[in-house]
Amino acid sequence: MTTTNTSVLNGNPAIAAVNCFHCGEPVQPGLLLNVIINGSSRPMCCYGCQAVAQTIIDCGLSDYYNYRNRNALTPEQLLPEKLQKLRIFDNDRIQQTFITRSGANQYEVNLVLEGIVCPACIWLLERRLGAMTGITGININYDTNRARLNWDNALIHLSKILEEITRLGYAAYPSTNVQDQLLYEKDRKAQLLRLGLAGLLGMQVMMNSVALYTGNWSEADSAIKSFLCWFNLVLTTPVLLFSAQPFYKGAWRDLKFLRAGMDVPVALGITIAYLGSVWATGRNSGEVYYDSVTMFVFLLLLGRYLEFMARKKARERTDNITYALPAIATRLHRTGERQEDDEIVPVAELQREDLLLVRAGESIPADGIVTDGISTVDESLLTGESRPVVKQSGSALIAGSINMESPLQMTVTRTGADTVLAGILKIIDRAQSEKPGFTLLANRIVGWFIPVVLILAGLAAWYWWHINQDLWLPVTISVLVATCPCALSLATPAAMTAANSTLLRTGIAVAHNDAVEKLARTTHFIFDKTGTLTLGRLRLDSVHCRSALDEQQCLAIAASLEKTSEHPLGMAIRGITGQSLTHAATDIRNYPGRGIAGTVNGVPYFIGTMEFVRDKAGTDPDAGIVPDHSADGGTTIFLADQKRWLCSFSFSDVIRHHADIMIRDLKKSGKKVILLSGDNSSAVKKIADCLRIDTFVPGLGPEDKLNYLREIQKKNAVITMVGDGINDAPVLAGADVSIAMGGGTDLARINADMIVMNDQLDTLVKALHVSRRTLAIIRENIIWAVVYNLLIIPSAVLGLVAPWMAALGMSLSSLVVIGNSARIYKCI
Amino acid sequence: MEIIYLLIIISVPLIILIAWAFIWAVKSGQFDDLEKPRHQILMDDDDPGKKSD
């Protein structure tokens, strides 16, 4: 519950272990951010939470805190630039891809919402948005986290609505795959109809069948018996013609491609059982199997529907995160001498020689060359290099990297298929086509089981044809119905459904079902460094002081200088000191890629690279100030005034929480752990040493990583690759199982079999556990199904199995499989 | 036992009625979101700005 900690805080908010009232994260001691909610003052952990909570209160929606049953997610702080970016959604050309217009100003859009954790979130959003003028309709689906939004464009703009959603602590993107979504919905409804009707009619058939089984039919009652059979025939026909369609379609597909799938025996079994029953009904003698047909269809449809829903859910989760801002670029027009006109254009429309403006924080839309400006660019997603690279006039830019510091102007040299990014895409395609084959356990068994059953049924038919011509058909039918592959065909789907939803609960979305089984068989785990084992974010490691000023004072000055910096180092320093600046810096001058100069309390200070500070201070640094480990992969910057060097700050990439535990657990369960990185060797070595990974290879490009993978795959290794960047995507595509971090790039996520939604590395260990358990359960299910069949086939061939026994055996064997699979839910 | 004819014939319109109700429910989206309505009923909804759709 959300209010457990509140009694502690009303008295003394500085007590340790105070949690944020909005998101439940611990509040840093000494931080005094409070919001009055329902009459009492509540602590907040950050400015983001404070702003959101205040907005909720100001809108008169404080009931949210009473209704909710889970804490909200920690919202990001609202930066004006971020809100500014939402404006692009008002652009006509961009809107064309996702908006439906029904009147002059009546617009409709499907939004993907992020951050929804409980039904109160929906209440909050629907109430707030519903009260805004101009919004004519809002309907949020809790299952899919999507909203249908209608508005009057004359009264309100989409960016304004998105901004309001952001203010409440959620994120929303227009969904561009509405068509896919509609098709999926249609498919779901069709499946539900088939399932429901099979169940409904099946129950009627069952009722009549009980009468047929138990009735002590004398000659006089044979009219009633015949009537019941005819009535069952009428009820079963729609089940066969409508509900069972997917099996016939699947069987037809299997036959066309000459595969031995599960659908062929299913289709054959129900058709023969049905036709045999019709024949018996017409002749008014012999056994009828209508109940077997309907129950069989119903149980199989149920298994498929559950599997479909689990997959749909996982897909929605993964789809929801793949929508980020649309790919757009700001194009400058050369109008005479001055370039003033800029317009936002979709990246697809970019041409060579176009002049583009890339603002700080934006990603580079195409390969090109800098024509104006100096900035640092983060290429870690493409190359794995964790340190930002300085770019100035003449430097080459790679599409997909991120401009960190200050605006750059660039000319496009390559677009579309010629870019470095597109080159990586080609490697991905190749990697996928060369992916090693893998036969799932179930298919291996089904492959020989089905032909055996068909041959046995054929032999039985041939034998009885010669012995007793009246019996050959009932015996053949009972062989096919009794050995009915129901349990066998449910064995894998039932376990997969349970595994998928268990994994989703622990924070992993499964995009491809095979992955669960392959994960269980994995021998090697390969990790990427930047962004996977580490956060891909620099953190202040150590401060070396050698002056009159102490550490805190130096940090305070540095934070004031870096006040407006978008540079990762600046943000890391600000992250330490928090929002409260003790000094105000004036005359701040930014030298992109080098450092910052500014005046604090009347004294000029310089912060930046060693060269920059040496240049400005005019002296060499003291030996004590330069950290000894400056060469081990970290980054160091220096602070000086006009005469003296004051201190140095060393930064390194932060290792993800639980990374060490995960590596230890993986090694303990006998897996080989390998680290492949595009970063330089000292940085990779530091991380590998820290996490005790014995095998690591630094300085690898996307292609090299793939080659490395191929080498060990040749030695029959089953490989799970965990990565996040664009440069990891080819390896992800080539690995047996690919796992992407949820916060990673779209390209990595699209090529992944599984996605770690919560970005917690220890979920991987849990996933391994679930997958092993699932494989064990699938094995048990299949063994059970095969043993059951081996027992019943001889009796069926000898003509000893009555139809009611066949039906009962079939239902029981299926229930055993379903019950056994349910044990997966409990393994975490 | 002849009563069984009557009973079964009576059951036919019932089956048709239930099937029709089920088909209507699926098509009109009654099964689209099974989570929200059960919470929604407990939450205060008397917002003047809220429109019914």
Q: What pLDDT does residue A15 have?
A: 44
Residue A508, strand partner residues: A756
Between the CA atoms of A786, A790, A795 and A801, what dihedral angle is there, to the nearest 10 degrees?
A: 0
Query: Could you tell me the pLDDT band of residue A197, with boundaries at 50, 70 and 90?
Result: very high
Which residues, in sequence order, are bridge partners of residue A35?
Answer: A42
Identity of the amino acid at A147: A
Contacts of B49 in chain A (CB under 8 A): 127, 130-132
pLDDT per residue as tens digits for the range A431-453: 767 666 666 677 677 667 777 87
**Are A15 and A8 a contacting pair, CB within 8 Å?**
yes
Interface test with A, best of B1, B3, B6, B8 (most A CBs within 10 A): B8
Higher pLDDT, A68 or A178: A68
Residue type, A623: A
Per-residue pLDDT tens over the stretch A746-766: 677 777 888 887 788 888 999
Residue A783 clears pLDDT 70, i.e. is over it: yes
Mean pLDDT of A168-178: 80
DSSP letter at A827? G
Higher pLDDT, A321 or A737: A737
Alpha carbon A306 to chain centroid, angstroms: 20
Q: How far apart are alpha carbons B14 and B10 in whole angstroms?
A: 7
Q: How many CB atoms lie within 10 A of CB A745?
A: 24
Cβ contact, residue pair B26, A192, below 8 Å? yes
Query: Is B51 close to A136, i.e. CB distance below 8 A?
Result: yes
The DSSP string of A108-169 is EEEEEEE---SHHHHHHHHHHHHTSTTEEEEEEETTTTEEEEEEETTT--HHHHHHHHHHTT
What is the greatest pairwise CA distance in chain B?
A: 63
Q: Which of A189, A203, A207 to probe the B interface (max B CBs under 10 A)? A: A189
Q: Which residue has the higher pLDDT, A6 or A57?
A: A57
The predicted pLDDT at position B31 comes to 86
CA distance B43 to chain A (A): 7
CA–CA distance, A195 with A242 (Å, rounded to integer): 10
* pLDDT(A373) > 70: yes
Q: Please give the residue that has the higher pLDDT: either A96 or A68.
A: A68
Backbone phi and psi for residue A40, each to the nearest 5 degrees, phi listed first: -120, 155
> What is the mean pLDDT of the segment spanning A649-668?
87
pLDDT of residue A485: 63
Listed residue (A490, A97, A637) closest to A327, CA to CA:
A97
Confidence of residue B49 (pLDDT cuts 50, 70, 90): very low
Which helix (H) or strand (E) segment holds residue A76: the answer is none
Q: What is the pLDDT of residue A315?
A: 67
Distance from CA of B35 to the nearest CA of A (A): 6
Query: What distance in Å separates the CA atoms of residue A638 and residue A610, rounded to the nearest whole number?
Result: 6
Please tell me the predicted confidence (pLDDT) of residue A287: 76
Q: Measured between CB atoms, which of B4, B8, B32 is closest to A141?
A: B32
Q: Per the structure block, which two tokens stand in for A345?
A: 């254009």
**Predicted confidence band of residue A325 (pLDDT cuts 50, 70, 90):** very low
Q: What average pLDDT score do residues A327-343 get?
A: 68
* Confidence (pLDDT) at A663: 92
CA distance B8 to chain A (A): 9
Residue A386 has pLDDT above 80, yes or no: no
**pLDDT class for A645, splitting at 50, 70, 90?**
confident
Contact between chains at B43 and A67 (C-beta distance less than 8 A): yes
Contact: A123, B47; criterion CB under 8 Å: no
Q: Give A791-805 pLDDT, tens digit per residue.
A: 888 887 787 776 667
Which ipTM score applies to this complex?
Answer: 0.84
Give the lowest-confidence range in A62-71, A563-572, A641-650, A756-765.
A563-572
Mean pLDDT of A44-61: 87
Rounded CA-CA distance A760/A741 in Å is 9
The C-alpha of A33 sits at a distance from chain B's nearest C-alpha, in angstroms, of: 29
Amino acid at A127: R
Q: Which of B26, B35, B44 sits opposite A189 (nearest CB)?
A: B26
3-class DSSP assignment, residue A143: coil
Q: What is the pLDDT of residue A9?
A: 38
Give the nearest partner residue to B50 out of A67, A131, A189, using CB atoms. A131
What radius of gyration, in Å, describes the C-alpha atoms of chain B? 20
For residue A536, is pLDDT > 90? no
Rounded Cα distance, A230 and B9, in Å: 13
For the residues A649-676, what does the mean pLDDT come to? 88
Q: How many CB atoms lie within 10 A of CB A247?
A: 26
pLDDT one-digit tens code per residue, A453-477: 778 888 888 888 888 877 777 777 7
> What average pLDDT does range A20-41 have in this prediction?
82
Highest-confidence segment of A167-176, A343-352, B36-45: A167-176
* Mean local confidence (pLDDT), A569-594: 73
User: What pLDDT, on the 0 to 100 scale, is given for residue A582?
Assistant: 65
B8 contact residues in A (CB cutoff 8 A)? 208, 227-228, 231
Question: Cβ of B43 and A120 within 8 Å?
Answer: yes
Reported as a pLDDT band with limits 50, 70 and 90, residue A483 is low
Task: State the pLDDT at residue A323.
Answer: 46
Per-residue model confidence (pLDDT) at position A403? 84
pLDDT at A510 over 60: yes
Query: Would you state the pLDDT for residue A216?
Result: 67
Give strand pairing partners of A137. Answer: A150
pLDDT of residue A414: 83
Would you call A200 and B8 a contact, using CB atoms and an 8 Å cutoff?
A: no
The mean per-residue pLDDT over the stretch A205-223 comes to: 79
At residue A241, the pLDDT reads: 94
A472-482 and A762-797 helices, crossing angle to 10°: 160
Q: Residue A325, SS3?
A: coil
Tell me which chain A residues have a C-beta less than 8 angstroms from the C-beta of B43.
Answer: 63, 67, 119-120, 123
B14: distance to nearest CA of chain A, Å?
A: 11
Mean pLDDT over each residue of chain A, to the nearest integer: 81
pLDDT value at position B48? 45
Q: Which residues of A touch B (CB under 8 A)?
A: 63, 67, 119-120, 122-123, 126-127, 130-132, 136-137, 139-144, 185, 189, 192-193, 196-197, 200-201, 204, 208, 221, 224, 227-228, 231, 235
- Rounded to whole angstroms, how far apart are CA atoms A268 and A771? 33
Q: What is the pLDDT of residue A484?
A: 61
Cα–Cα dist A747/A730, whole Å? 9
Closest CA to A68 of A53, A48, A47, A46: A53
> Which residue in chain B has the smallest CA separation from A121?
B36
| C-alpha to C-alpha distance for A708 and A700, rounded to whole angstroms | 9
pTM recorded for the entire structure? 0.69
Query: How far apart (Å, rounded) are the C-alpha atoms in residues A20 and A111?
Result: 29
> pLDDT category, A579, cuts 50, 70, 90?
low
Tell me the mean pLDDT in the region A694-707.
87
**Mutation site, A63, A70, A121, A123, interface B, largest B CB count within 10 A:** A123
Give the C-alpha separation, A410 to A376, whole Å: 14
Contact residues, chain A, for B52 at CB < 8 Å: none
Question: For A4-8, A42-46, A460-464, A574-578, which range has the lowest pLDDT when averaged over its residues?
Answer: A4-8
Considering chain A, what percentage of its residues have pLDDT values greater than 90? 11
pLDDT tens-digit readout, A520-529? 999 999 998 8
Question: Dihedral of the CA atoms A332, A335, A337, A340 (nearest 10)?
Answer: -50
Query: Quick one: how many helices (H) and strands (E) in chain B?
Result: 2, 0
Contact A516, A774 (CB under 8 A): yes
CB-nearest partner of B39 from A119, A139, A144: A119
Q: Which residues of A touch B39 (CB under 8 A)?
A: 67, 119-120, 122-123, 142
3-class SS of residue A82: helix
**What pLDDT shows up at residue A116?**
83
Per-residue pLDDT, A360 = 76
Q: How far apart are the first and last CA of chain A?
A: 22
User: What are the two backbone dihedrals, phi and then psi, of residue A544, each rounded to the nearest 5 degrees?
Assistant: -110, 115
Percent share of chain A, pLDDT over 70: 87
pLDDT at A827 over 60: yes
Contact in structure between A305 and A192 (CB atoms under 8 Å): yes
Q: In chain A, how long is the greatest CA-to-CA distance? A: 118
Q: How many whole angstroms separate alpha carbon B25 and alpha carbon B31?
A: 7
According to DSSP, the residues that pair with A113 across neighbouring strands are A172
Strand (E) or helix (H) holding A509: strand A508-510
Report pLDDT for A519: 92
